[in-house]
Amino acid sequence: MKIVLAEEQNGSQPSEKTFNQPIIRIGRDPVECQIIFDNAKYPMVSRKHAELRWEAGKWFLCDLNSSYGTYVNGQRVIGSQSVAVGNILQFGTQGPTVRVVWLEVGYDSPQNVAQKNSRPTSAVSAFTTNAVAAGFASSAAKCSESISARAARFC
């Protein structure tokens, strides 16, 4: 579930950041966000602006009802959208941009597989069947759910 991102500033590429976690929160909140933008420099970025989420072997960018929007390659994200290498992610109109340098696709670690297999199979099967049947159309709704609420529902 690894992803490598680079913040773009005036066309130059500063250091790349590697993340190896299923949820990466983006915004101005230094406590809850892993990618943090300065309030004075980027007032168009919300405190909790967006999230990158690893779901079903893909990375998705989810807008968290930000005031100025979240964009992938200049197109506004409504709910969530999958991302690919080379995509430019923008946070707010004329806001900061981050380029997807590299990402893992379709990988599920042995630890995650073991955790999934330890859950009651009926809940996992129902969730998987519903998610596949819905074609992941519910990704937008899932972005606004809290992690703990989802965990309580399936555990």
pTM beyond 0.75, yes or no: no
- Residue appearing with tokens 């859950």: 119
Is 21 in contact with 45 (CB distance < 8 Å)? no
Is 94 in contact with 44 (CB distance < 8 Å)? yes
CATH of domain 3-103: 2.60.200.20
pLDDT block averages, 10 residues each, the chain of length 155: 90 81 98 97 97 97 98 97 97 96 76 48 36 40 45 37
Cβ–Cβ contacts within 10 Å for residue 141, how many?
A: 11
Query: Which residue ranges make up each domain of the chain?
Result: 3-103, 110-154
pLDDT digit string, tens, across residues 19-53: 999 999 999 999 999 999 999 999 999 999 999 99
**Alpha-carbon span 24 to 3, nearest angstrom:** 10
